[in-house]
Amino acid sequence: GGKIEDRFKVLYKRYEEEKHTKTEQEVWENAQTSRSKYNYGNKEVKFQQNYDLLLDNQIDYIKTQLIEGNFEEDERFERFSKADRLQDERCELPVFKQRDKLLTAIRDHKILIVEGETGSGKTTQIPQYLHEVGYTKYGKIACTQPRRVAAMSVAARVAQEMRVKLGHEIGYSIRFEDCTSETTVIKYMTDGMLLREFMMDPELSSYSVVMIDEAHERTLHTDILFGLIKDLARARNNLKVIISSATMDAEKFARYFDNAPIFGIPGRRFPVDVFYTKSPEADYIEAAVITVLQIHVTQPAGDILVFLTGQEEIESTHDILLSRTRGLGTKIPELIILPIYSNLPSEMQAKIFEPTPEGARKVVLATNIAETSVTIDGIIYVIDCGLCKETCYNPRTGMESLVIVPISKASARQRAGRAGRVAPGKCFRIYTLWSYDNELEENPVPEIQRCNLGNVVLILKSLGIEDLVHFDFLDPPASETLIRALEELYALGALNDEGQLTKLGRRMAEFPVDPKLSKCIMYSEKYSCTNEVATIAAMLSVGNSVFFRPKDKIMHADNARMSFSCRDGDHLTLFNVYSQWEEANFSSIWCRDHFIQYRSMNKARDIKEQLVDLCERVEIIVNKEPCKDIKMVIKSFCSGYFFNCARLHKSGIYKTVKNAHTVFIHPSSVMFKEMPKWVMYHELVLTSKEFMRHASIMSSQWLTELAPHYFSSQDLDDDSIKKMPKPIKLNP
Ligand code: CDP
Ligand code: MG
């Protein structure tokens, strides 16, 4: 929807611009000629009279026309005028001056490390250069991004620059969304997707170049790719490998890749003044808000970038800023507040790249996504709260949680650097100099050392890599974490007691989801409830963004939500939502009426379709008829999530079955008041306490049936269970 309206905005803007420079007659003529370019079908649209009127009255009609594909010409018209400007911009990027030298270095070396300031043009330009000089004649160019948002937005940008339609020559591929075609030559993708491609074709034979971009982010998948690519580069003579990163870690990468040369792109960087708070701030959000307002009223023009930790925090900061500035009315210049985080819908993301209007100031509230992967022009001021959200995994308990931790010095420098891209800037750190010096680590901890490795181990095993302990990691994971992953996969039945992949494990590996979830899908076949399980799995992956709770209609929203409640728990409640929506023909109006987020539902629908496709690939029959015994749906979930079971103790407190860890039912759960004796939950979220999110009633009997090796009789303290756990012989 948004895109179409944007196209109109372009038209409208052009009209506005021309209105001042041209006579009425010229504008009229221009509109005539424009009109002759468009094909509206056989209906005539009178838009020469007044563009305003057109926007108001005829937009719906034209929208239909656009959807029916009768508006092709307009698209080309918009793209061309924009692309001309983009070509000029391309030549101004720092990497452009190095174009020839860079291409020579790539020609002469198998692996090249490219290091350059963020925003110097590595991601958008290097693949284009390689395409321009013909590398794509021999195969596609892959460019990996740690973040989905970056993959999509960069691909869109490059498509614009090359004047092609996104998904044709330039495409992107992220989990559950493939926007590429036969004609695609440059493919931006998440690092996880390239890992998947390794599974389908370990030689990556359709590629001539692989660029592992944003290498400094050191995501789990990027780290694994390093090992695989290093090996592949030795085996394939016709493959070029580029490892590109911001100005961090380049020497380390070079050493790891057999002393590959480093190609530096000299940046244009202006000095940034750094300010600290005199004493620690108790409330960094409040401090950030005040700093924004102070900058806004006292400092010269220039946009502000605020680093916060997550979506909720960004939303509440947004609200606070809105209410404070509203109070000031027209006394201050306009402050445009824009959020950016990974889950933000793409139309909204695009907004942060729009130029700030004259006289106004933009303030972007961002997670660490804006640290390196997204560059916003015009930022002069940076406010850094000094924290970020990170996954943290405890191999002893097997629990993964998102926690807020101090950033590293390297990140702090990177954040500050964002203020100096276009002019000298200022960075306000909401922490003390003392804490910078004494409390921040030098570098961030790579993800591989702080997350669950289940999925990755499954992928590596299915790539035939048996010996994980001796895998060539840039930084190896803790052996405890590796062993824990092997144990988990063993408990799920994906590995046998020799540590080899089982038939089940091989099928599970096909699914780009947590092994726990793929196990559920496999198991559901037994009870012919794969359709239900896949639906719920899809709903769970859009997670907590299904229900919509506007502040002024909380009561209505909560009532609507109640109407979906299922006594068996949140899993089947989610299923209710989906199936009622399906019955309503996937209608957006239905969603609005029921306080359900249409966008999330669409995403769930997409994911479900893909899961069903994948089921077909591994020859699982997806039931067409509704499942007869709905309890079996939960049992199927239990086949993967038996790790996540808790029991209500006499004290009125839930403890996990395995480690007797205290946990609580999330207030949003339909089980919140119910308090059944046994619950299975989808995940734990840590806020004020450890909450079980998406919980359902389960039967303790299932545990002995589904995970005989995992639970000891003590765990279940039920007299009927006397079986001893089978000894585990693992060969990591
Ligand atoms: O990869 P690197 O950080 O070196 O730079 P890049 O992502 O290739 O960005 C080069 C330029 O393209 C930046 O100045 C951005 O302003 C612009 N760009 C954009 O406008 N929209 C995007 N989605 C990505 C980049
Ligand atoms: Mg980049």
Mapping DSSP to helix (H, G, I), strand (E, B) and coil, where does residue 691 land?
A: strand
Q: Is the CB of 154 under 6 A from ligand 1?
A: yes
Atom of ligand 1 nearest to the CA of 117: 4
Q: Write out the two tokens for 274.
A: 């750094």
Report the pLDDT value the prediction gives residue 119, as an integer from 0 to 100. Answer: 84
Report the pLDDT value the prediction gives residue 231, as an integer from 0 to 100. Answer: 94
Residue closest via CA to ligand 1's atom 6 equals 121
Atom of ligand 1 nearest to the CA of 377: 16
The whole model's pTM is what?
0.77
Q: Is the CB of 94 under 6 A from ligand 1?
A: no
Q: Is the CB of 118 under 6 A from ligand 1?
A: yes
Please, are residues 419 and 381 in contact by the beta-carbon 8 Å criterion? yes
Q: What is the 3-state secondary structure (H, E, C) of 154-220?
A: HHHHHHHHCCCCCCCCEEEEECCEEECCCCCCEEEEEHHHHHHHHHHCCCCCCEEEEEECCHHHCCH
**Ligand 1 mutation pick, 129, 268, 375, max ligand atoms within 8 A of CB:** 375
**Ligand 1 centre distance from Cα of residue 713 (Å):** 58
pLDDT digits (tens, 9 = 90+) for 456-503: 899 999 988 888 888 999 999 998 899 999 999 999 999 998 989 999
**Ligand 2 centre distance from Cα of residue 424 (Å):** 22
**Ligand 1 centre distance from Cα of residue 46 (Å):** 39
Report the pLDDT value the prediction gives residue 722, as an integer from 0 to 100. Answer: 41
Please, are residues 172 and 151 in contact by the beta-carbon 8 Å criterion? yes
Judged by its nearest atom, the ligand closest to the C-alpha of residue 375 is: 1
Distances (CA, A) of 626 to 527, 528, 530, 630: 11, 9, 10, 9
Atom of ligand 1 nearest to the CA of 213: 1
Which parts of the chain sit beneath pLDDT 70?
1-85, 268, 346, 397, 717-732
Q: Is the CB of 122 under 6 A from ligand 1?
A: yes
- C-alpha 675, offset from chain centre: 34
**Ligand 2 centre distance from Cα of residue 150 (Å):** 8
Atom of ligand 1 nearest to the CA of 353: 20
Q: Is the CB of 219 under 6 A from ligand 1?
A: no
**Ligand 1 centre distance from Cα of residue 673 (Å):** 50
Q: Is the CB of 116 under 6 A from ligand 1?
A: yes
Report the pLDDT value the prediction gives residue 542, as an integer from 0 to 100. Answer: 84
Report the pLDDT value the prediction gives residue 656, as an integer from 0 to 100. Answer: 92
Of the candidates 486, 532, 538, 484, the one whose C-alpha atom is nearest the C-alpha of residue 511 is 538
CA atoms of 569 and 671, how far apart (whole Å): 6
Rounded to the nearest 5°, which phi and psi values hold at 263? -105, 115
Q: Is the CB of 377 under 6 A from ligand 1?
A: yes
Q: Is the CB of 157 under 6 A from ligand 1?
A: yes
Mapping DSSP to helix (H, G, I), strand (E, B) and coil, where does residue 663 land?
A: strand
Q: State which H helix or E strand residue 75 sits in.
A: helix 72-92
Q: Is the CB of 216 under 6 A from ligand 1?
A: no
Report the pLDDT value the prediction gives residue 8, as an integer from 0 to 100. Answer: 56
Atom of ligand 1 nearest to the CA of 244: 1
Report the pLDDT value the prediction gives residue 80, as an integer from 0 to 100. Answer: 39
Judged by its nearest atom, the ligand closest to the C-alpha of residue 120 is: 1
pLDDT digits (tens, 9 = 90+) for 333-374: 899 999 998 777 767 777 888 888 988 999 999 998 888 877
Judged by its nearest atom, the ligand closest to the C-alpha of residue 377 is: 1
Judged by its nearest atom, the ligand closest to the C-alpha of residue 346 is: 1
Q: Is the CB of 506 under 6 A from ligand 1?
A: no
Task: Render 396-425 in DSSP notation, one character per residue.
Answer: TTTEEEEEEEE--HHHHHHHHHGGGSSS-E
For residue 248, what are the contacts with CB-CB under 8 A and spacing of at least 6? 216, 410, 414, 443
CA atoms of 8 and 30, how far apart (whole Å): 16
Q: Is the CB of 639 under 6 A from ligand 1?
A: no
Q: Is the CB of 120 under 6 A from ligand 1?
A: yes
Q: Is the CB of 247 under 6 A from ligand 1?
A: no
Q: Is the CB of 665 under 6 A from ligand 1?
A: no
In total, the chain counts a number of residues equal to: 732
